[in-house]
Structure 1
Amino acid sequence: MNDSPGWASPGSSPSDGERPGAPSDQQASGDSKWSAEQPPPGDWSSPAAGPTPPPQAPPQQGQGWGPYGGQQHAGPYGSPYGGQYGYPGGPGQWGKPPAAKPGVIPLRPLDMGEILDGAVATMRAHWRSVLPITLVVATVVQVMSVLLQKYVMSDLALAADPAADIEQTINTLGTASAVSFGAVFIQALGGIVATAMLTMIFSRAVLGNTSTVSAAWREARPQLLRLFGLTLLMGFGFALLVVVLIVPGILARSVGLAVLGGFAALPLAIWLWTKYSLASPALMLEKGTVFKSLGRSSKLVKGAWWRIFGITLLTSIITGIIAAIIVWPLTFLGVALFGGGMGGLQAGTASTAWGALILSGIGAIIAQTIVMPMQSGVTVLLYVDQRIRREGLDLELARAAGVENYGTTGG
């Protein structure tokens, strides 16, 4: 069964192999606020709220946070998105009640501003959980990066010295390559851990719940190995794309063929990157396998590729500008104070001076601490938004958040 309190509490995923509506282990033990005798989907009002409203149509598929956990239905306003909210800005919405907002986002289809605002609001409201995760990961990554630049760059300069013999050059290049691979591996591993834990924190923030670092780790840990496999598979796919389309031109010593392969690889890589951009939150929150998560991302993105690409691209631009504003002044200051200024840049010593490297690393730590949760938050909220639009997930979110009479005309 799903073990995540944030996303599994409404019910089990169909992929869990249990019947919809069956009580979970937490319900049986009394840990959950939902009793084992829950009303069927559609009868979600509190027992103290008065007479039970007329039953609604049962969901077409299972309930919960797994695939198609919400009801496929049209709300009272004729919305195909589910819930009680029609298409944002659509006709006939003058008497529409305000959207329920138990957490950082309203429970209805979101626009771009609401997604960005939800990511920032979570960082601000849950900084005690978000900040330690990103700060630790960014610090480890940047320490490795500083050591890499300090020692590997010097070794590469030594290997390029014409006076060095062949054996020394090969040994130096081998050592530099091993260190570089280790640094990249640690950076990828740190990013995976941060992404997994931040996904759990954002999933709780949608419901208006808080999460500690230890709780986020407990919820994310069972899926870490699969998330690592997903990341490795996607990286291998992009590398294979480059090998197939660009390397033949390089081997043939044809600049034109290599450039043509690059022009073909770039749009294809962007298309695949967007198509599978929601695989990570799908993997973490639906507790599925790597290939099921890729399939879920593909289905959720279908028909909304340009919208998701635009929001993700805008987020990358915003976070890139924020990072540049923080990193570049400290980098220039380090070069001026410790790297010998323009003379050091011309001599090539500025990039290996300890003072310049440390100041640049501090800037990068601050930037990553801010940028990393924003990027992860936008991805998670895009996943939630697509499921609200496609599967009526707002009903399950409202139920998990304890919103009474949600989805009824009187709500």
Structure 2
Amino acid sequence: MQDSTIQTGPAAASADSGPAPADRPTRVRWFFIGLLVVGGVVNYLDRGTLGVANTTIAQDLHLNTIEMGVLLSAFAWPYAIANLPAGYLVDRFGAKAMYAWAAGLWSVITILTGFARSFSFLYAARVALGVAESPFFTSGLKVSQRWFHKEERSLPLSLINTGSQIANAIAPPLLTFLMLTMSWQGMFMVVGAFGLIVVGVWVKLYRNPTAAEEAAIKGLGEEAAAEQQAAKGSWGSLLRQKNTWFMVIGAFGIFYTVWVYLTWLPGYLHTSRGFSLTKTGWIGALPFLCGIVGVLTGGLISAWAIKRGVRTLTARKIPIVGGAVLAAAAVLPVAFVKSDVLSIALLCVGYFAAQIPIGVIWTLASDLAKPAQVASLGAIQNFGGFLGAALAPTVTGFILDATGNNYSLVFVVGGALLLVGATSYGVFVKDRRDS
């Protein structure tokens, strides 16, 4: 295959081989990003099932708010821990195999969740789901690293992350519709079955770039040499780097508040604001629709800044820090707002802003890690994020139990942690490669 003349990035290089279709890798790689967007939709629909159905399941299985908080956290703890080996495995075995196995397993688990009739069964299923879903975003990071030059990656990674936001936007009305028409058990089964279809498409169509395509995308110079050198680096060496820990802390602060939205927003709208279950489904979609725009905004801002000559690290920090600060400014006042309309408007702005950093956070991992350790660093960072994600539902459940379902402190804690995330990324993550 003669593809090496294709120009796909700033460092793309021409070779002496024969002519090739100049746009083939570009078309193919964006198609693969599209497959990952669909995968992200399925991934987050599976995660969102319990959040949308939590009040219905709680009534059906006679669960209190603390038990439901524990259930809503059951996914995030194992997901966070499993990210550590998942990143290494994606670096070791590649995105195609790891994503296929993971998506197949999480789809089967989702189907089986529809048979749950006890707290213990639901808890075990959510733990298993967390483990199974852990390779998804690291696989997307690896695909972007293989198919895109390092200066191009903020947009494809942001696009991959829009899949989760599309799912979050459609989950309240779609999953509520499924739940009301075929019970919450049927909702789990339908979502799981759709995931199996996605697995089949991925296995059939995805491939890694050829050597000629990879050379054209990345060039034969600095990045190729770095990749050979990185093969000698150990996974554990990432844990000895200061940036790794500040990225963990930063992701913790941002993801905490995101997961308050994902797990408790329907309950807040239903119990605190008094909306009906059907109305909650539609209103609950509004912040997540804004989140789709937020993810893309972050990637575009970062790419624009790089084109304007801004240093790569600074171009990543602008949307990460700016988004987290804006999100905090919107989330904190929700605790004191009486108007339903203003509350929903602030929640929409808060979630939009909280999603601005998400795709760029993953891009940052590809900027700071050696090429052979990109998925590993991304996974460690995601581990930190999902420690926050795991704590958010449980802490929220305890707060609500202690305050009689008053959400004021919930939003204060979320806003404060967003500022912690902004500070960690903005002040303490630095270019330490020469230090």
TM-score w.r.t. structure 1 length?
0.30
TM-score (normalizing by structure 2): 0.29
